[in-house]
Amino acid sequence: MANTDTLTRFLIEDTGVRGVLVSLDATWQEIRARAEYPDAVAHLLGEAAAAAALFCGHVKVDGRLSLQLRGTGALRTLFAECTSQGTLRGLARHEGDLPAVLGPRDFGEGSMLAITIETLPPGQREVQRYQGLVGLQEDTLSEALTAYFRQSEQLPTALLLAADGSRAAGLLLQLLPDADREGDGWARVEALFGTLGSAELLAGPDTDLLWRLFHEDGVRLLPEQPLRFACSCSQARVEDMLRGLGETEALAAAESGEAQIHCEFCGKEYRLAKDEIRALFTLETQANVSGPRGLQ
């Protein structure tokens, strides 16, 4: 049986347009199963997970890319992350009563969308971090992210995201930087894209969709990348987090005898006794921490 959790890059050859298509089945179901989300929250989280994978494939990240929406409204946080290894994770936080349909405006006044790329260049010891920020004034996540791309890359871009209880998907199209902007290639592609709805995007099989829409202009598929759920939490990252708190605060977290750290992404529990926490701050232990551990 073919893997239905995939990222596919492609070219629409006669138009100078490139694209990325993402489908998430088991991956999305794993993310959703980690918490009890209302349907409206789950819908938006599924779209965010598809978007994180789309962006990771579009910019060809060598590391990880995260998408985070933050606000003070009924929705507080929406976070999705994709790595260059094709692993995804995500979560959402919300408070109070929620409408049946949610969008970026429900994050409240002053809410922000942050897209963060973390990469460790060859031969370097320090992780490099790049972040773009944009306000959330649009009605849908697809519209908000399309606005982000047009602002940051200044290239004609079209984006559609969709999610339901079992599947999430996304399609991103963009005119190549060196393509002829005076021709009608982009106009044709954009018109065909405009006929696509969420239900059709979710229906699959995915590459059949590309042939149906763009076959007259020649679709060339590039190698697929499989996607899967995985969490990047680890003992080392928990220890680094405690070091970042400082010894006093880290020990306060172990007032009952041990610190218990719960990963909200995968549910794993980490436990460190007070003696283990003190050991994190000894000169000998710190001297043995050999720089960054890479992207974990």
In this predicted model, what pLDDT tens digit does every residue of 1-45 receive, in sequence order? 355 899 999 999 989 999 999 999 999 999 999 888 899 999 999
Residue that is written with structure tokens 């697929």 in the block: 224
Supply 230's token pair. 């995985």
Cα 56 to Cα 83: distance, rounded to the nearest angstrom: 7
Contacts of 228 (CB under 8 A, 6+ apart): 5, 26, 27, 86, 87, 88
Q: How many CB atoms lie within 10 A of CB 7?
A: 23
- For residue 205, whether the previous peptide bond is cis, meaning omega lies within 30 degrees of 0, is yes
Cα 219 to Cα 257: distance, rounded to the nearest angstrom: 61
pLDDT for 120-178, tens place per residue?
A: 777 777 888 888 888 888 889 999 898 888 778 788 999 999 999 899 999 999 999 88
pTM given for the model: 0.85
pLDDT for 216-270, tens place per residue?
A: 999 999 999 999 999 887 888 888 888 888 888 888 888 888 888 888 887 788 8
pLDDT at 7: 95
- What number is the average pLDDT over the span 196-205? 87
Q: What integer best gives the mean pLDDT of the chain?
A: 86
pLDDT at 199: 93
